[in-house]
């Protein structure tokens, strides 16, 4: 299983998202800190979930970091997050 697949599995289980987008941006960071041969080190993740309702931005980030603790301690060097509730997504459109 790739790192992206592991991230997807864990985030789906933790947040039952209405929307989940995971992008491996490792190729954009070749030669930078944390980059490794084969990539799978830098990710951009967008989640829309009711699980974020009533949570601050910091609380949401902590929830995701907790769900992905093993990956963040291992291969994943950078994780850019966009974490919205369904209502917040509707207001952005």
DSSP 48-76: E-GGGTT--HHHHHHHHHHHTHHHHHTT-
User: Who has greater pLDDT, 74 or 58?
Assistant: 58
Strands (DSSP E) contained in the chain are 19-24, 42-48, 78-84
Kindly report the number of other CB atoms within 10 A of residue 93's CB atom.
4
Name the average pLDDT for the chain.
90
CB-count exposure of residue 91 (10 Å: 0-12, 13-18, 19+): exposed
pLDDT of residue 39: 63
Q: Kindly report the pTM of this predicted structure.
A: 0.86
Mean pLDDT of 68-73: 96
Residue 45 pairs in a beta bridge with 22, 81
Which domains are assigned to the chain?
Answer: 3-92 (3.30.300.90)
């Amino acid at each position: 299983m790739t790192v992206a697949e592991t991230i997807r599995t864990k985030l789906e289980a933790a947040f039952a998202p209405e929307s989940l987008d995971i992008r491996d941006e490792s190729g954009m960071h070749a030669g930078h800190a944390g980059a490794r041969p084969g990539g799978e080190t830098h990710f951009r993740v967008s989640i829309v979930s009711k699980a974020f309702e009533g949570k601050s931005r910091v609380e949401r980030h902590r929830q995701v970091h907790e769900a992905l603790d093993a990956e963040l301690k291992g291969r994943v060097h950078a994780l850019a997050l966009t974490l919205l509730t369904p209502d917040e997504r509707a207001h952005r459109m």
